[in-house]
A and B are shown apart, each in its own frame.
Chain A
Amino acid sequence: MEYDIIGEMAGLAAPGKSGVKLARAAGLLLKAFGFDQCCIYVYGKSGFALKGHSGKGARAVSYGPSEGAPGLGRGKRAALELYKLEAGEGSWRGVEDRGLKGFRYALVQPLEAGGEFHGVIYLKSIERKRPGAEDRRRLRKAALQLTLVIKYAEIEKELESAKEELKEARAALKDSERLITLGDMAAALAHEIKNPLISIGGFAARLGKHLGPDVPGAQYLERIFVEVARLEKVMDGAFRFIKDSSLDLKPEDMNAIAEEAIRPFEEDLASGGIELRKDLHQGRLPVLADREQLKIAFDNLIANAIQSMEKGGVLTMTTALSGQYVLATVADTGAGIEPDAIDKIFNPFFTTKRNGTGLGLTITRTIVARHKGSIKVESRAGAGAAFIIMLPHAAAEGQAQRQ
Chain B
Amino acid sequence: MKKRILVVDDEEGLRLLYKEEFEDEGWDVELAASGEESLEKLEQEPIDLVLLDIKMPGMDGVEVLRRVKEKWKDLPVILCTAYPHYKHDFGTWASDAYVIKSSDLTELKQTVRDILGKKQ
Chain A residues within 8 Å of B, Cβ to Cβ: 187, 190-191, 194-206, 225, 228-229, 232, 235-236, 239-240, 242-243, 372
A51 to B83, CA, bound (A): 61
A236 to B84, CA, bound (A): 8
Chain A residue nearest to B20 in the complex (CB): A206
Q: Are B83 and A239 within 8 A (Cβ)? A: yes
Chain B min CB distance to A362 (Å): 14
Tell me which residues across on chain B come within 8 A of A225, comparing CB atoms.
103
Q: Are A199 and B20 within 8 A (Cβ)? A: no
Tell me which residues across on chain A come within 8 A of B21, comparing CB atoms.
202, 206
- Which interface residue of B16, B55, B101, B102 has the most chain A CB atoms within 10 A? B102
Chain B residues within 8 Å of A, Cβ to Cβ: 11, 13-14, 16-17, 20-21, 55, 82-85, 88-90, 100-105
Given contacts A196-B13, A206-B17, A206-B21, contact A191 B82 (CB under 8 A): yes
Tell me which residues across on chain B come within 8 A of A243, comparing CB atoms.
84-85, 88
Tell me which residues across on chain A come within 8 A of B55, comparing CB atoms.
191
Chain B min CB distance to A223 (Å): 13
11 contacts between A and B (CB under 8 A): A191-B82, A195-B13, A196-B13, A198-B14, A198-B17, A198-B102, A199-B14, A205-B104, A239-B85, A242-B85, A372-B89
The residue that A199 contacts in the complex, of B17, B84, B104, with Cβ under 8 A, is B17
**Number of A-B contacts defined by CB within 8 Å:** 65
Q: Are B84 and A198 within 8 A (Cβ)? A: no
A198 to B105, CA, bound (A): 9
The residue that B17 contacts in the complex, of A202, A229, A239, with Cβ under 8 A, is A202
Given contacts A195-B11, A195-B13, A372-B90, contact A202 B82 (CB under 8 A): no
Tell me which residues across on chain B come within 8 A of A242, comparing CB atoms.
85
Q: Are A197 and B103 within 8 A (Cβ)? A: yes
A187 to B55, CA, bound (A): 11
Q: Are A236 and B103 within 8 A (Cβ)? A: no
Chain B min CB distance to A197 (Å): 7
A194 to B80, CA, bound (A): 13
Chain B residue nearest to A231 in the complex (CB): B103
Q: Are B103 and A187 within 8 A (Cβ)? A: no
A195 to B100, CA, bound (A): 11
| Chain A to chain B: the 6 pairs with minimum beta-carbon distance, closest first | A201-B103, A199-B13, A243-B85, A202-B17, A194-B82, A195-B11
Tell me which residues across on chain B come within 8 A of A199, comparing CB atoms.
11, 13-14, 16-17, 103
Q: Are B13 and A190 within 8 A (Cβ)? A: no
The residue that A190 contacts in the complex, of B16, B82, B103, B104, with Cβ under 8 A, is B82
Chain A min CB distance to B40 (Å): 23
A361 to B17, CA, bound (A): 34
The residue that B105 contacts in the complex, of A202, A228, A232, A240, with Cβ under 8 A, is A202
